[in-house]
Amino acid sequence: MNIKTPPTENPKKEIGRSAFVNARLLDPATGLDAIGGILTDGEIISDFGPQMFTDSVPEDAKVIDCKGKCLAPGLVDMRITMSGSDFATTGMAAVAGGITTAVCLPNTNPVIDDGSVVEFVARAARKAGLVKVYPYGAITKGLEGIEISEMGLLAEFGAVAFSDANTAIRDAQTMRQVLLYASTFGLMVMEHPEDPSLAKGGAMNEGETATRLGLPSIPKLAEVLIVERDLRLARDTGGRLHFSHISTKESIDAIRQAKIDGMSVTCDTAPPYFSLNEGAIGDYRTFAKLSPPLRSEADRVAVIEGIKDGTIDAIASDHTPRHEDEKRLPFAQAATGGVGMETLLAITLELVHNGHINLIDALSMLSSGPADLLGLNAGRLKKGAPADLVLFDVDKGWKVDADHLHSKAKNTPFDERPVQGRVLRTVIDGRTVFELDS
């Protein structure tokens, strides 16, 4: 696999025009699924559509023969954790997974609770020259859950929404004030739905497996309580609320009903919660220790149902890199989290191959869906839009190998899993930044 570093000087002149021919064009925003092509001019899409280039290709365009493979908008990953300030490694993992736009949680160092940090994240990502990174702003200063940050000001600097990363807002009165404040600016509040007091000291989902393994557990009620509390607060305040990585049937049921009632509530999930259950922990496999924890098979099936009926709006990688020393510990002491950008597309495509949803709907949850939630100019084929594209083979089989991931951290819960669907090329602003070795 080759990671290609884009030019840094006068990129539009160097990029020129490219004609992507003989492609299966897929645009989840419009439902387009047809054989055709895309013409890029510098950093933008200048034209696209079915039957393009059947007669001729512009003489000055570089021809890229897609050989009938899928060509779609680049993926938009709405939840990643930045590992330190290593934007280059993060970018390599992202583009290898077909991700052209990613949104990072505010639990960076320093925390994204100040306008200067928002600007730093955007500047550092541009300098790395790979994936486009947008930041979430912290809901509370220092992510401490006490003093509300200047959300309106952070939004002016470029924060796309607000989150306290992997910690729920503990105090109901604080959360109510957050939703009221955010509603005056039309801002989205993203909650990590897990009651800290119920989750404290827990290592995995409560149930027979935890009992058999002798591990301290986290009841699913920890998620459900926060979801139900915050739905009531959102109903009271009119705030715009989003739940991250939903993992339980009861939470999905509550969100489904809130949507039926017309509330401004959305949610996402991550691939582990529809493709794995608590059995993946096996004999204390710490790569499968996640937050929220892997749930029961009944919950996994419920997540799939939530995806199928539209209760769940997006799928995010929940990419959480951990140093090897943090994972190679007894299960109860090991850190939570798994890397996920390079497996995001392939694991989501399991929903397609297993007949749960169609390909357009799967891509919608990975591109136009999250882009629309966050108001990003991404995730769709459109004349004049950024030429951010992913070329992939929907049927190509491969096996996940943690040692060969581009991410510096290797803590994937999908290690050694056979999957189907492979990214062949990733294009950002008209530049090929990743190409799979043939």
Is-contact 81 321, C-beta < 8 A? yes
Contact 151, 189 (CB under 8 A): no
Q: Contact 104/59 with Cβ under 8 angstroms? A: no
Q: Do 103 and 79 touch, CB atoms closer than 8 A?
A: yes
The Cα 309–Cα 18 span in angstroms is 38
Q: Compute and round to an integer the Cα radius of gyration of the chain.
A: 21
How far is Cα of residue 405 from the mean position of the Cα atoms in its chain?
Answer: 17
| Lookup: tokens for 15 | 């990029």
CB 18 within 8 A of CB 430: yes
Beta bridge partners of 62: 18
CA 46 to CA 40: how far, in whole Å? 5
Cβ–Cβ < 8 Å for 267, 244: yes
φ/ψ of 20, rounded to 5, equals -90, 110
| Phi-psi group of 87: left, alpha or beta (phi > 0 → left; psi -120 to 50 → alpha; rest → beta) | alpha
Sign of CA dihedral 156, 145, 374, 72: positive
Cβ-count burial of 188 within 10 angstroms (0-12 exposed, 13-18 middle, 19+ buried)?
buried
Measured in whole angstroms, how far is the alpha carbon of residue 336 from the centre of its chain?
17
Contact 190, 162 (CB under 8 A): yes
- Which of 271, 224, 220, 217 has its CA nearest to residue 243? 224
Tell me the sheet residues that pair with 73.
389
List residues with catalytic annotation. Answer: 318
CB 74 within 8 A of CB 390: yes
Q: What is the identity of the amino acid at 222?
A: A
Cα-flanking dihedrals φ and ψ of residue 25, to 5°? Answer: -75, 130
Which residues does 214 contact at the CB level (< 8 Å), separation at least 6? none
